[in-house]
Amino acid sequence: MIESLDPRVNRAAIELDNHIEPLSPLDQWETYEVFHQKKRGDQHMHVGIVHAANPEMALVFAKEQFGRRGLSANIWVVNTKHVFASTYEDADIFETTSEKIYREAGGYKVMDKINQYKKSQKA
Amino acid sequence: MYGNAYIDPNEVNKTHSVLADEDPKLLAEFEARIERGEKIEPKDWMPKEYRKQLIRMIEQHGHSEIIGALPEGTWITRAPGFKRKLALMAKVQDEVGHAQLLYSAAETLGKSREAMINDLITGKSKYSNVFNYPAFTWADACIIAWLIDAGAIINQVANAKGSYGPYCRALDRICTEESFHLKYGHDNVVTLATGTPVQRKMVQEALNRWWPPIMHFFGPSDKISSHTEILMKWKVKMATNDDMRQQFLNMYVPKIWDLGLTVPDANLKKNETTGKWEYTEPDWDEFKRVINGGGPCNAERLAVRRNAEERGRWVREALKAGQTAYVVPFA
């Protein structure tokens, strides 16, 4: 029996050579991806995962793990197996996006033309 | 709370032979990405050695958080006053939460949580050596909260700038919480050090007990721990053991002296010419003896952990849903 400085350990009456069966796969259940919203109006942000046996339990753990400080308004949990994601290997599909300035407000510069036009009208 | 990754001294530098069977083109791309300061994400190609060393390090870090909760938890039932009891419970809950974050990061590299827990409770995996020492008095718990957490922050702030995305994200969150631990610990130590002669004596004795483990905390001296070059290049390890120890001494020895406490090392002084601290070389044989199971609390820590695992088993079983299948987390 352990003689510990910790009264909780002594109360538990633990043998030092308490060999146990190893944990089998899924002993710690599946994982849920956690999305946390700080305050109403904000986007939910991915903050990490929790292990849980079901969505309700995942919410409890997510609140404990990611909502125990600061502001929290709302939490989503999504079973990891239900997330369908692009791959980093295919990141080249985004490569030309920044070149497509015709999609952006900054791609349209009209002041030069307007000024030139005004000048030509005065002449 | 965590010091530095413990690498078995018997595991010699096999890096060159390990890299021999890696695709040179992929390896070059991988190293170029790290060189550019980009993060590596779980599904990226990575050398086997990078994966192995990261799993070992993050897993050890996670185990340290879990086991670190035990010496501190010793004093929850007898914390002096309700406010300190609440704060200590919050701190211990944080540490256990840190383990959850770290295990998750290690899982993204392909080792299941069950496998990590199994390796911990059988003694196969290591954890920070300091937690194999007991917390004799309330003052020991205060010294742990202040100085061990201070050391952990130095290590974790450095590692948060490392190359592996999930580990960095976990560390950012952890460091925020650790800053509360540090302030809480300092507050407690200051209370004792500015208190009655009995309180001062108690905190000085705790400091004397914890100084050798604190000096061990950052791992063996660079002189005898040479296999870190490739890990530094890959930004797995961000600072050498000796550099972190120097940083710790520089930040905290003056704060200890401020309180009129003494450090139990007659050779400890700052060399004003080199700017480096000089100290008695820690006893690395003792360090190895304790990490290999010979410390005062190794057996108790693992027995307590096994007990918790075993007594919770029926609850975990009962909660299991009918249809479950494990999927490695994304990030």
**What is the Cα–Cα distance from B259 to B249, expressed in whole angstroms?**
15
Instruction: Determine whether the interchain pair A31/B331 forms a contact, defined as Cβ–Cβ distance below 8 Å.
Output: no
Q: What percent of chain B shows pLDDT beyond 90?
A: 85
pLDDT at B139 over 80: yes
Instruction: Retrieve residue B152's tokens.
Output: 């952990």
Instruction: Retrieve residue B291's tokens.
Output: 């990490």
Split into its structural domains, chain B has a count of 1
Nearest-by-CA chain B residue for A48 = B331
Instruction: Determine whether the interchain pair A53/B177 forms a contact, defined as Cβ–Cβ distance below 8 Å.
Output: no
DSSP, res A56: H
**What is the Cα–Cα distance from A85 to B111, expressed in whole angstroms?**
21
pLDDT at B14 over 60: no
Q: Give the closest-approach CA distance of B138 to chain A in angstroms.
A: 11
In a domain, B1, yes or no: no
Beta strand residue intervals within B155-252, DSSP E: none
3-class DSSP state of A84 = coil
Q: Is B124 on the interface with A (CB under 8 A)?
A: no
| Helical packing angle, B48-73 and B113-121, nearest 10° | 60
In a domain, A69, yes or no: yes
Nearest-by-CA chain A residue for B298 = A16
pLDDT category of residue B156 using cuts at 50, 70 and 90:
very high
Instruction: Determine whether the interchain pair B316/A7 forms a contact, defined as Cβ–Cβ distance below 8 Å.
Output: no
In a domain, B189, yes or no: yes
Q: Give the closest-approach CA distance of A64 to chain B in angstroms.
A: 8
pLDDT category of residue B11 using cuts at 50, 70 and 90:
low
Nearest-by-CA chain B residue for A62 = B97
Nearest-by-CA chain B residue for A2 = B300
**Facing residue for B303 by CB, picked from A2, A8, A28:** A2
Cβ–Cβ pairs < 8 A, chains A and B = 120
Closest C-alpha among B170, B168, B150, B149 to residue B159: B168
Closest C-alpha among B183, B206, B178, B211 to residue B193: B206
In a domain, A39, yes or no: yes
Cβ-in-10-Å burial (0-12, 13-18, 19+) of B182 comes to: middle
All residues of chain B having their beta carbon less than 8 Å from the beta carbon of residue A8 are 73, 76-77
Amino acid A12 reads A
**What is the Cα–Cα distance from A48 to B178, expressed in whole angstroms?**
18
In a domain, A104, yes or no: yes
pLDDT at B175 over 70: yes
**What is the Cα–Cα distance from B110 to B329, expressed in whole angstroms?**
10
Amino acid B56 reads R
Q: Is B307 on the interface with A (CB under 8 A)?
A: yes
pLDDT at B13 over 60: no
pLDDT at B252 over 80: yes
All residues of chain A having their beta carbon less than 8 Å from the beta carbon of residue B122 are 22
Instruction: Retrieve residue B278's tokens.
Output: 């000089």
Q: Would you state the pLDDT for residue A123?
A: 75
Closest C-alpha among B141, B252, B130, B229 to residue B188: B141
All residues of chain A having their beta carbon less than 8 Å from the beta carbon of residue B107 are 31
Q: B35 with B96: CB under 8 angstroms? A: no
**What is the Cα–Cα distance from B46 to A59, expressed in whole angstroms?**
33
- Picking from B102, B315, B326 by the largest number of A CB atoms within 10 A of its own CB, the best residue to mutate is B326
Instruction: Determine whether the interchain pair B331/A46 forms a contact, defined as Cβ–Cβ distance below 8 Å.
Output: yes
Instruction: Determine whether the interchain pair B97/A68 forms a contact, defined as Cβ–Cβ distance below 8 Å.
Output: yes
Q: Would you state the pLDDT for residue B94?
A: 97
3-class DSSP state of A31 = strand
Split into its structural domains, chain A has a count of 1
Instruction: Retrieve residue A24's tokens.
Output: 């089998």
In a domain, B126, yes or no: yes
Q: What is the CATH number of the domain that holds B41?
A: 1.20.1260.10
Q: Is B324 on the interface with A (CB under 8 A)?
A: yes
All residues of chain A having their beta carbon less than 8 Å from the beta carbon of residue B309 are 20, 23
**What is the Cα–Cα distance from A107 to A103, expressed in whole angstroms?**
7
**Facing residue for A53 by CB, picked from B319, B326, B328:** B319
Q: What is the CATH number of the domain that holds A73?
A: 3.10.20.520
Average pLDDT along chain A, 123 residues, taken 10 residues at a time = 92 93 94 98 97 95 96 98 93 92 93 95 86
Q: Can you give the residue range of the structural domain that contains A111?
A: 22-122
| Tally of CA atoms within 13 A in the half-sphere of B30 that contains its CB | 24
pLDDT digit string (tens) for B301-314?
999 999 999 999 99
In a domain, B318, yes or no: no
Nearest-by-CA chain A residue for B330 = A80
In a domain, A90, yes or no: yes
* pLDDT: which is higher, B205 or B21: B205
In a domain, A17, yes or no: no
- Which residues 204-263 of B are in CB contact (within 8 Å) with A? none
Q: Would you state the pLDDT for residue B61?
A: 96
In a domain, A97, yes or no: yes
Mean of all residue pLDDT scores within chain B:
92
List strands edge to edge, sheet with A30-37: A45-52, A30-37, A74-79
Q: Can you give the residue range of the structural domain that contains B228?
A: 30-308
Q: A56 with A95: CB under 8 angstroms? A: no
The number of angstroms, rounded, from the C-alpha of B54 to the middle of its chain's C-alpha atoms is 14
pLDDT category of residue B275 using cuts at 50, 70 and 90:
very high
Is the CA virtual torsion B255, B259, B265, B267 positive or negative? positive
In a domain, A6, yes or no: no
Cβ-in-10-Å burial (0-12, 13-18, 19+) of B253 comes to: middle
**Facing residue for A48 by CB, picked from B101, B307, B319:** B101
In a domain, A14, yes or no: no
Q: Would you state the pLDDT for residue B224?
A: 76
**What is the Cα–Cα distance from A60 to A65, expressed in whole angstroms?**
9
Q: Is B314 on the interface with A (CB under 8 A)?
A: no
